[in-house]
Structure 1
């Protein structure tokens, strides 16, 4: 029952995110006078619809996106009037563009000549097309702000939670607890006498105020003796340790581990002590939210740019014996499974902790939708924004040179590329759904 509840919560959240994304397009389009015949959440057969004014609002059967239909999305060819489309015989690509132009004028009515999208100024076009992604960004910001300020974030502290007895030099990504064998060397932290509950206050005479500083000092001290001042039971003690040289994952800009397309760690030789920090949940002030959110946004763009290479790992996991990268892409099926696992398993803590994990998942999805839609490729919103920006550059150049104003940029000419990109997205979505069924990402 809890599993189903988690799936329902996340799917309702996704549906609302899609609906609000399309409202982000709809409101400015109507504000600028563009006629919008249709607003739909989903694709495929219509499940429910109702007309309000000049717009039909509805829900379709496949909840994998949504759209609004604006009249006059593409300009007519030079010499044509709005709604007039001359069929080109120069090739299949030109015919595709002509068909798209014809469809964009299908619902043209008398008096609509000045309500066409392509007639908008460049700033208004960009505002309409940016409205959807910015709505997802706003949703993510509101959700993460609530999580950061009301619930808090887990932060590693300077207090030690566990100390390894030994070091498995063949394993990457060491933790503070493992089984030892006679051929494993003793952990430097254990040899130095570091204990759980100790708080490291200084290393080599430099005060330490965070685990990030401590970790950096340890990693930089590979094979070299270092002194640590620790606070233990209200007293200060000085310990000496020599971090062992070990292959460890490379840290990215936000403290995570870098991975290859197949999910393997990117490693480097650094110092390893064999001690783990205590984690505490700390609520953040509102002033810290922009920095935290900016870091997450930057990391999300990095993830989006890595999707093509990560799909290699997804394919190998789906059709081979490799494991799925836990930080790799998922389909809505995978997201639903993760939400169900979180809601139903006691391993994820209290009901409040589970709810916050699901809310964080929805916030991350909205952040991903923003970053993904900003790619300058048709049919994504970023592709239309790029077309409008190019039109603005052309008009500015003509104005500076004293030339006649150029015609609107004919985005329809890029439709063959848009169809190719759309087909690639469909294949990618199909592969992700298949992988999430046969080789899902598991949190436990």
Structure 2
């Protein structure tokens, strides 16, 4: 079922973005009197379609892109049969270079606008929830294997990241941290200020499966929020609202400490000291200490769910405030992609770990349908699609933009033969990249 949800979100998200992208080309072309023969979401074979005016609108069976076919344009269809004839007034090639440039930029512009609108609306509707720096400084972090590898330790209190102040925990693990030239954490450890440098290429390790959860997390005090029916916790008498403050006489304040103690006592009985509040008792009032005995399961658990006792920060945004904030978030996606591509070309980041095809994108959407997550990823993909299409690669919009810019600046138009050859080269590059991404996805999933 999770696979179906992933696929459905992928198809809906890509169909919306590709449909809007190609609509940008179509509207611009028609605005300048060009004839648009076909509008496709997906690639042939055609599932269904209809004709309206001079244009045939189609839905293709291969949902990995789309296109518009504009008369007199050398595009991915490579239909050059009529290029030897004199251009008709409604053809792409008959129009001034500046009009053709706007047509080729139409899809990119629409994707940028779509991404910005999505981020603005999400910011306005949902606001921003975060773990403030004050909480990180009070409780510290939990350092897992990858965190310990670069020198972080559980209990460290991170003061600065990359030599700068920060607002919340998410700022400590964002891609900007690891894409910086000289990334570092400044931490307070046992009253001493220490700088932990992030090694070059560390982002490569974070690209592996489940690596993000193997780096660092905020350290948090907790209480029991739910006891699993039939579990060892229920048999021991643990209740929702309890706080476990010691295991076998060892004080426990944070959840990671409890996990460590339980894993040291797998398949054994442990004595627990629990603070329990009476019915109707306020959170601030003293709790009653209770002693319990519990059996630790083979996986090092008792069978209950926890609630983090952290003071989360939340900021609401008016629509006017959401406009600059959402716009900044949208363009930050582009900036991160620019820096990431630079790292790939410099060899600091592996392309196989960084590039994702349809399967990888579907996994990013996840196996549960959450509208906030869906729209946020769709907004991100819209900005990525705009950026990738702007790259000066033949067969992409950016390739056409590069040739048209050359024509405007030099006053000389590249020959149709040259454009046809460039289109073929671009198609080979794109198909090779798409094949690599798909097989890379398969390899990451099954190996």
2:112 to 130, 133, 137: 137
The answer to whether the Cα contact below 8 Å between 2:39 and 2:69 also exists between their aligned partners in 1 is: yes
Cα distance per residue 1:155-209 (max 9 Å; x no partner):
45222243369998983356774xxxxxxxxx665xxxx9xxxxx9x9xxxxx78
The answer to whether the Cα contact below 8 Å between 2:394 and 2:425 also exists between their aligned partners in 1 is: no
Provide the residue aligned with 1:242 in structure 2. 192
Shifted more, 283-292 versus 303-312: the winner is 303-312
Provide the residue aligned with 1:409 in structure 2. 414
Alpha-carbon offset, residue 389 of structure 1: 1.1
1:363 is aligned to 2:379: yes
Shifted more, 5-14 versus 142-151: the winner is 5-14
**In 2: Cα distance, 1:281 partner to 1:258 partner:** 31
Unaligned runs of 5+ in 1: 76-95, 178-186, 195-199, 203-207, 227-238, 251-256, 265-273, 316-324, 344-353, 396-405
SS at match of 1:19: helix
Provide the residue aligned with 2:12 in structure 1. 12
Provide the residue aligned with 2:403 in structure 1. 387
**In 1: Cα distance, 2:198 partner to 2:383 partner:** 29
Provide the residue aligned with 2:257 in structure 1. none
> Cα distance 1:74–1:332, how it changes in 2: closer, same or farther (>3 A)?
closer
The answer to whether the Cα contact below 8 Å between 1:175 and 1:276 also exists between their aligned partners in 2 is: no
Alpha-carbon offset, residue 19 of structure 1: 1.1
Provide the residue aligned with 1:83 in structure 2. none
The answer to whether the Cα contact below 8 Å between 2:152 and 2:196 also exists between their aligned partners in 1 is: no
Alpha-carbon offset, residue 393 of structure 1: 0.9
Provide the residue aligned with 2:326 in structure 1. 289
- Aligned pairs for 1:309-320 (under 5 A) are 313=350, 315=352
Provide the residue aligned with 2:231 in structure 1. none
Provide the residue aligned with 2:443 in structure 1. 438
Provide the residue aligned with 2:127 in structure 1. 152
**In 1: Cα distance, 2:366 partner to 2:142 partner:** 37
Provide the residue aligned with 1:114 in structure 2. 89
The answer to whether the Cα contact below 8 Å between 1:7 and 1:340 also exists between their aligned partners in 2 is: no
SS at match of 1:159: helix
SS at match of 1:383: helix
TM-score, normalised via structure 2 length: 0.62
Provide the residue aligned with 1:59 in structure 2. 59
> Cα distance 1:358–1:258, how it changes in 2: closer, same or farther (>3 A)?
farther
RMSD: 4.3
> Cα distance 1:164–1:40, how it changes in 2: closer, same or farther (>3 A)?
closer
Unaligned runs of 5+ in 2: 178-182, 209-216, 221-309
> Cα distance 1:309–1:17, how it changes in 2: closer, same or farther (>3 A)?
farther
How many corresponding residue pairs? 331
SS at match of 1:51: strand
SS at match of 2:26: helix
Alpha-carbon offset, residue 219 of structure 1: 5.8
**In 1: Cα distance, 2:2 partner to 2:80 partner:** 49
Alpha-carbon offset, residue 153 of structure 1: 3.6
1:101 is aligned to 2:76: no
Provide the residue aligned with 1:233 in structure 2. none
Provide the residue aligned with 2:227 in structure 1. none
- Aligned pairs for 1:22-37 (under 5 A) are 22-37=22-37
Provide the residue aligned with 2:260 in structure 1. none
Cα distance per residue 1:248-307 (max 9 Å; x no partner):
357xxxxxx96359959xxxxxxxxx9869664534422433333332222233335556
> Cα distance 1:304–1:137, how it changes in 2: closer, same or farther (>3 A)?
farther
1:300 is aligned to 2:337: yes
> Cα distance 1:338–1:261, how it changes in 2: closer, same or farther (>3 A)?
closer
Alpha-carbon offset, residue 120 of structure 1: 1.2
2:430 to 422, 425, 430: 425
**In 2: Cα distance, 1:220 partner to 1:136 partner:** 36
SS at match of 1:41: strand
Alpha-carbon offset, residue 388 of structure 1: 1.3
**In 1: Cα distance, 2:67 partner to 2:83 partner:** 14
**In 2: Cα distance, 1:337 partner to 1:166 partner:** 26
1:69 is aligned to 2:66: no
The answer to whether the Cα contact below 8 Å between 2:147 and 2:153 also exists between their aligned partners in 1 is: no
SS at match of 1:171: helix
